């Protein structure tokens, strides 16, 4: 049985397909992936998804639809004239999913519980579909700690709001602690893909992942605030001194669950502001739209490189 604290790395089957750490699934004759509106009893998942190699997650349905259309151009896939990409998970009314050849693009919503549910179902999808060595990316937004808006952060480490590198979860009333470890080789490879002419910098560092956007990230502008501006700046400077370069809300669960599943994962986020200078996301819609493409540009380069597309 699983220990309460797990540290060992999990590997894949000999043929590189994804192993599941839950033998119950193999014993089920039908698995309903409820939140992405798929059903292994009705759909031929190996036929529909067996070729998936890159799974790209981001917060919103619209941004991930845009990414799907962008990556389609980049890898030179075409839809029949007049056709548009289909949201495969539309009937779930939870997450959006688009498939562009070997690239699966999904929205994960906001926060760790939301991305956690999705990752359970995606890892099972990878298993049912017999996908080989898939790599997962989170393409997100974040608040920079000492980094101005419009720049990229690639997470090397992830910590929770107490600066602990674990995902703590209650399971059957007991604390389960999973280390939040990201693939260092992958993050290194991604940061090497920056080009001189890029309009953004790339910082590799530690990401703080919180359960809240306002009080949880030390903002003064929530509906509640029980600390002073001085307290906030002491906290943010303490983070800065500990190489924490950004804050967001999903990377801890993403890192911990990918690591537990033996699936390579990377987190690339664009900063929307420098938290040392403020709390409100005040850039214009146009500027924010432009910035949100930056993680997509980098991930697209990675995908093209691995598909041998110039």
Binding site for ligand R2B (CB under 6 A): 59, 110, 140-142, 213, 248-250
Site string for ligand URA, 186-225 (x = CB under 6 A): ---------------------------x---x--------
Cα dihedral: 193, 205, 113, 166 (round 10):
130
- 102 vs 143 by CB, closer to ligand URA: 143
State the greatest distance between any 2 C-alpha atoms of the chain, in Å, as a whole number: 58
Q: What is the nearest approach in angstroms of ligand R2B to the Cβ of residue 82?
A: 34
> For residues 36 and 86, what is the distance between their CA atoms, to the nearest angstrom?
13
Residue 156 near residue 184, CB atoms below 8 Å: yes
The residue among 4 and 62 lying less far from ligand URA, judged by its C-beta, is 62
Q: Which two tokens stand for residue 7?
A: 């540290």
Partner whose binding site includes residue 110, from ligand URA, ligand R2B, none (CB under 5 to 8 Å by kind): ligand R2B
User: Cα dist. 168→81, 175, 176, 220, 274 in Å?
Assistant: 49, 7, 6, 27, 28
Reduced DSSP (H G I as helix, E B as strand, rest coil) percent helix, strand, coil of the chain, to 5: 30, 25, 45
**In the bound complex, what is the minimum distance in angstroms from residue 5's beta carbon to ligand URA?**
28
- The pairing of strands 152-159 and 264-274 is antiparallel
Q: C-beta of 157: minimal distance to ligand URA in Å?
A: 17
Q: 57 is in the binding site of which of ligand R2B, ligand URA, none (Cβ under 5 to 8 A by kind)?
A: none
Token pair for 255: 């890192």
**Cβ 84 to ligand R2B, closest distance in Å?**
26
Strand, coil or helix: 156 = strand
**Per-residue burial over 92-125, b = 16 or more CB atoms within 10 Å of its CB, e = otherwise:** bebbbbbbbbbbbbbbbbebbebbbbbbebbbbb
Interface residue with ligand URA, options 247, 257, 263, 303 (CB under 6 A): 247
Nearer Cβ to ligand URA (156/271):
271
Which string of x and - marks every residue 5-44 that binds ligand URA (by CB under 6 A)? ----------------------------------------
> CB of residue 181 vs ligand URA: minimum separation in angstroms?
21
Question: Does 146 help bind ligand URA (rule: CB under 6 A)?
Answer: no
Any alpha helices (H) in 130-210, and if so which ranges? 184-191
Q: Which residue's CB is nearer to ligand R2B, number 31 or number 248?
A: 248
DSSP 8-state class, residue 152: E
User: Which of the residues 126 through 145 are near ligand URA (CB under 6 A)?
Assistant: 141-143
Contacting residues toward ligand URA, per CB under 6 A? 141-143, 213, 217, 247-249, 272
């Amino acid at each position: 049985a699983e220990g309460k604290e797990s540290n060992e790395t999990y590997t894949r089957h000999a043929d590189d397909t994804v192993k599941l750490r839950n033998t119950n699934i193999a014993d089920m004759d039908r698995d309903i992936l409820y939140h992405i509106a798929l059903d292994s009893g009705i759909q031929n998942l190996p036929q529909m998804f067996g070729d998936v190699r890159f799974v790209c997650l981001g917060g919103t349905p619209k941004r991930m639809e845009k990414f799907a259309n962008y990556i389609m151009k980049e890898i030179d896939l075409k839809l029949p004239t007049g056709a548009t990409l289909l949201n495969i998970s539309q009937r779930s009314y939870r997450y959006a999913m688009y498939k562009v050849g070997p690239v699966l693009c999904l929205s994960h919503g906001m926060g760790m519980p939301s991305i956690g549910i999705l990752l359970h179902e995606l890892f099972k999808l990878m298993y049912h579909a017999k996908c080989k060595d898939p790599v997962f990316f989170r393409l997100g937004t974040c608040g920079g700690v000492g980094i101005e808006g419009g720049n990229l952060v690639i997470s090397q480490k992830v910590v929770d709001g107490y600066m602990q590198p674990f995902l703590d979860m209650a399971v059957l009333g007991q604390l389960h602690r999973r280390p939040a470890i990201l693939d260092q080789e992958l993050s290194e490879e991604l940061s090497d893909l920056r080009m001189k002419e890029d309009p953004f910098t790339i910082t590799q560092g530690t990401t703080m992942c919180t359960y809240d956007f306002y009080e949880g990230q030390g903002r003064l502008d929530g509906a509640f605030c029980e600390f002073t501006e001085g307290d906030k700046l002491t906290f943010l400077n303490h983070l800065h001194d500990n190489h924490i370069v950004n804050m967001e809300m999903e990377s801890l669960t993403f890192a911990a669950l990918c690591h537990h599943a033996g699936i390579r994962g990377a987190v690339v986020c664009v900063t929307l502001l420098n938290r040392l200078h403020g709390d409100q996301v005040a850039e214009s819609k146009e500027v924010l739209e432009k910035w949100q493409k930056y993680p997509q540009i980098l991930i697209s380069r990675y995908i093209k490189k691995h598909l041998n597309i110039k």
